[in-house]
Amino acid sequence: MTASSPVHQALQEALEAAYLARATSAAVIDRFGPVRPFVSVIQWEQRQINGLQNLLRQRGWPVAVDRHGGRVVAPPCPDQAWLARQGNWICGEDQLDRLRRMAAEDAEVVTALKGLGQPPAFTAGDGNAATA
């Protein structure tokens, strides 16, 4: 596979989305302090980023730099940020389906992409940012 392959493109797009998600969580934490569940979510986002970066490195592909860190503005309150994240954690389901199809020839990448939809602890709903 080459750096212009669909698998590479899927990994790069997923990494870009993960960077944006982490920057959003960081903006909320920077503005409002260590509000739950964003403290846990940002840790999950970092693990996803690490995994995507490792997959890129294992294949000899460059790892894109994070262009979102420190550039995302938090919503006026944590609850709005929490609601905005529902159903769209790192990648929304439509985007995840498309990325998995792009990476179909690489089972390891497909497996990693499956984990980007929603943190396991929040799949059943975890209330809102004020009470979670």
pLDDT tens per residue across span 14-31 = 999 999 999 999 999 999
- Selected residue with higher pLDDT from 115 and 113: 113
- Predicted local distance difference test score (pLDDT) of residue 27: 94
- Predicted local distance difference test score (pLDDT) of residue 67: 95
- Predicted local distance difference test score (pLDDT) of residue 122: 55
pLDDT value at 45 more than 60? yes
- Predicted local distance difference test score (pLDDT) of residue 104: 96
From residue 61, how far is each of 9, 15, 57, 58, 98 by CA, in Å?
Answer: 11, 13, 6, 8, 21
Do residues 19 and 66 touch, judged by C-beta distance below 8 A? Answer: yes
pLDDT tens by residue, 77-102: 888 888 777 656 777 788 899 999 99
Task: Record the tokens describing residue 46, joined without a space.
Answer: 């970092």
In the chain, the amino acid numbered 89 is W
Query: Once rounded to an integer, what is the mean pLDDT over residues 49-58?
Result: 97
- Predicted local distance difference test score (pLDDT) of residue 115: 84
pLDDT value at 125 more than 50? no
- A 10 A CB-CB count for 79 gives 14
What is the dotted CATH code of the domain comprising 6-120? 1.20.1260
Close Cβ partners of 29 (under 8 Å, ≥ 6 residues apart): 35, 38, 39, 42
Q: Give the integer Cα–Cα distance in Å for 64 and 132.
A: 33
Mean pLDDT, all residues of the chain = 85
